[in-house]
Amino acid sequence: MNGLQRKLVDKVSHYHDTAPVFRIEPRPLPEVEGTATSLAQRVAGNYDERPPHTVRGKDRSEIALANGVRACAYHASGAIAVNAGFAPMQHLVGEKIDKDAMSEASVATVKHLGLDRIGASGERLAFERLWQIKAAGMNRERERGREVVCRTVGAFRRHVHDLPVWGRASVVVELAGGDRVSGVGVDWRPIAAEAVDRAKIIDPEHAARAVLADLAGRLPGGEFTDKDFGVALFSLGYLSLPKRRAQGMLTPVYVALLERRSWTTMNHVVAVAATEKLYESVARIVAMPPREAIRSKREAA
């Protein structure tokens, strides 16, 4: 076992000997569009009796409300994105923010929109981190002006039976000045009430070996060590595939975030199956686990 594999094993979190496997329940497209419309109306803060204008594309539906609020519903995953229609520099938050207060505002917004109640029994939604979207002007002399916070973005993570669902953030709320909701995102594939199986989890040593084999398949250079990569995260959990991809099962996976060192030019997120029986192909993650989750693992170490 080389140094990088050992560091992966030492970093493992959320480990269980077994974990349930769930079937993802497909939702009819009209139901997904109706959910997106309802969320858009809650973001708008009022109900317009005029029906929304819905355009169904190849892989998503665009929904426009009369008050300028727009929603997008993705057919394959049921993921929803809502935009309140604010101009980029409209309703600025300010030059400095109280991160704790804005985090609390994000949590309150999720509750106000009812997004904390979308999970079934055994599921929960947890606040993960707060982003800031900033901007600054520049004059003709290329002197940079004062930086202002345009939006804050609160990210929330879904947990199924205490295992995190990795991939994109499960719920995102974007707030403008005055705690106005400027955008909302939901990536939550509903699962059946009962598990179809309870799978035995492979041990972290085997999973770490599979991570390094996956990495070797992506990059030239043969065997990688801890001189090439550091380990920011190695977690057992579930994986939500990209929003444009259909998914039939929610199965346990190990997710690793490897931080670049030496000659490498980028970090890598690797997901490998956590069970000997393969229920569904594990796609490579395109969304990095948030830094807040990584930082919490470091503090616990």
For residue 94, the cross-strand partners are: 149
Q: What is the pLDDT of residue 267?
A: 81
Q: What is the largest CA-CA distance in the chain?
A: 65
- Topology classification of domain 3-24+194-300: Lipocalin (2.40.128)
Burial class of residue 218 (count of CB atoms within 10 Å of its CB; 0-12, 13-18, 19+): exposed
Q: What is the pLDDT of residue 301?
A: 47
Q: What is the pLDDT of residue 300?
A: 46
Domains of the chain, by residue range, sit at 3-24+194-300, 29-77+79-186
Distance of CA 136 to the CA centre of its chain: 28
> What is the rounded CA–CA span in Å between residue 36 and residue 74?
10
Strands (E), 26-85: 53-56, 60-64, 70-74, 80-83
Would you give per-residue pLDDT tens digits along the chain (301 residues)?
688 999 999 999 999 999 999 999 999 999 999 999 999 999 988 666 678 899 999 999 999 998 889 999 999 999 999 999 999 889 999 888 999 999 999 999 999 999 999 988 899 999 999 999 999 888 888 888 888 999 999 999 999 999 999 999 999 999 999 999 999 999 999 999 999 999 999 999 999 999 999 888 877 766 788 888 899 999 999 999 999 999 999 999 999 999 887 665 678 889 999 999 888 877 554 444 555 454 544 444 4
Q: What is the pLDDT of residue 47?
A: 63
Structure tokens at 292: 């807040």
> What is the rounded CA–CA span in Å between residue 284 and residue 4?
20
Element spanning 181, H or E: strand 181-186
Q: What is the pLDDT of residue 279?
A: 87
Q: What is the pLDDT of residue 223?
A: 77
- Which single residue is written with the structure tokens 């992506």? 218
For residue 201, the cross-strand partners are: 275
> What is the rounded CA–CA span in Å between residue 254 and residue 231?
13
- The predicted model scores a pTM of 0.87
Distance of CA 72 to the CA centre of its chain: 17
Q: What is the pLDDT of residue 182?
A: 96
